[in-house]
Structures are given as C-alpha cells and as structure tokens.
C-alpha cells in the first residue's frame, strides 16, 4: 500500500491555515500543523476532517533559524518524507509609510518573507536529500501585485514572496520541486469579519473587487489542493490570483 501523502502547513491555529489543513486532510494528507500559538492548535487538531488523519502539532517561530530547522526535522521524524510545504503564516501591518518603525518592518519581513524563504530552503534540502519530488505553495496577496495606501510593508513582503516563487521554481525545476503561490483578495476569516464589521470599511474593501464578494477560506484551500495535485504537474513559478477580478482592473 502506498504511504500517505504528507504536508507541513504554517499558521494553522485558526482561519485560513486551519481551512487549508482541513482540505488537505480530506485529500488524504497526514499533517504537520505548525504555529507560534501552540495552545490554539488543539482546536485545529479537533477539526472533524483533521482528526481522521495523523496530525502532529509543532511549535514554529519563523523569526528563528533554529526553530525553522527543528520544526522541519520534527515533521520529518513524525511523518516520514514530506511531500508538500504550505507557507501560510503571515503578519499584517496597517500603517502609513511615515509611521512605520524599524522593528515593525523587521517583524513583517522576517515572518512573511525571510521565514518563508528559509523554511522553503529546509524543505528543498529535505526533498533533495531523499531524492523525492516536492511541492511548495506560498500564500502571497494581491497587495504584492497592486498598490494600496497603508499596507506598504505587507505589500512589499508579499511582492518578495511572489519573486521568491519564481526564483525557487527555476532553481529546483530539475529536482522535481514545484513552487507556486496564491494571491487572494480579502479572505473572510473570523478575524477579518471583525475588522470589516464596520459598514464603511466593508464597503471600501468590496468596492475594489469587481465581483463584489470576498473569498472564503475554503476557496483558497481548494486552490492549494489544486496546486499540490498531479493535475498541476506542469504548473511551477506561477502565482494564482483568487481575487474576484481585482488585479484585472
């Protein structure tokens, strides 16, 4: 019998990360569920779909090289060879350029870009060492493709993630490691529902989206499943927009 497919997913304590983990569990993946907030992973582990698979909670601080190496090593020790990495964890910052502090810049870039790069590096090393193909899917954003006020550092980090996707895809193509990204519009997670509870803020966000609707976590998770699937075997170096036409304007 073939062994189960395996995935390491970052930022799985809630929201989009939990939805991605659940979708992968339904596809038959065993999971390494990582987050800095390990106390919240119990809710993810209890999800009805995830509970049917082997799921290992792992503490991960993307700002720490030691934590990154330890998380990958533990995931491989618990699950065996890893097939998929989903770089989902991220840090947002809503602040005018003139008010951004040095520490805030470092925090966003270290988590969204530097951490994703070095975790991808560890995953690539793992696949190459085992002589196995692999897939990386990173969560970018339409903010990395279009301009918007107040989100400069976040947008810069996501633009870097999109370029990282291209670079890694080219470098690892001959190793059968596919690297792609997803750029969603606003995803209606629990935390985003709270932020958009004000009608004016909600209308301002909707006004930028031609379809006049926000994405759901399940829609983004479905895109991850596609990019990880054999049906996407020829897709690499690509950023898939799931944005209701926002970047088409």
Closest CA to 12 of 118, 53, 122, 205: 53
Catalytic residue among 29, 117, 154, 172: 154
Q: Report yes or no: 37 and 13 within 8 Å, Cβ to Cβ.
A: yes
154 is catalytic: yes
Euclidean distance between CA atoms 134 and 111, whole angstroms: 22
Euclidean distance between CA atoms 70 and 157, whole angstroms: 24
Phi, psi for 174 (deg, rounded to 5):
-75, -5
Catalytic residue positions? Answer: 154
């Amino acid at each position: 019998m073939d062994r189960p497919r395996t995935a390491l997913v970052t930022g799985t304590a809630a929201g989009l990360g939990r939805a991605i983990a659940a979708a992968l569990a339904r596809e038959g993946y065993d999971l390494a569920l990582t987050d800095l907030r390990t106390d919240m992973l119990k809710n993810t582990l209890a999800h009805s779909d995830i509970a049917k698979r082997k799921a290992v909670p792992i503490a991960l601080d993307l700002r720490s090289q030691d934590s990154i190496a330890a998380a990958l090593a533990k995931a491989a020790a618990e699950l065996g060879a890893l097939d998929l990495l989903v770089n989902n964890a991220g840090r947002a910052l809503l602040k005018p350029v003139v008010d951004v502090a040095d520490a805030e810049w470092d925090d966003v870039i270290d988590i969204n870009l530097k951490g994703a790069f070095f975790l991808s590096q560890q995953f690539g090393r793992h696949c190459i060492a085992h002589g196995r193909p692999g897939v990386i899917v990173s969560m970018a954003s339409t903010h990395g493709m279009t301009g918007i006020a107040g989100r400069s550092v976040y947008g810069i980090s996501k633009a870097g993630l999109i370029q990282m996707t291209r670079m890694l895809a080219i470098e690892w193509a001959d190793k059968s490691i596919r690297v792609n990204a997803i750029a969603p519009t606003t995803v209606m997670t629990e935390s985003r529902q709270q932020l958009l509870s004000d009608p004016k803020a909600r209308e301002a966000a909707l006004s930028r989206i031609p379809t006049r609707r926000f994405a759901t976590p399940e829609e983004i998770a479905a895109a991850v499943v596609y990019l990880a699937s054999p049906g996407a075997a020829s897709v690499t170096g690509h950023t898939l927009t799931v944005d209701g036409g926002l970047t088409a304007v």
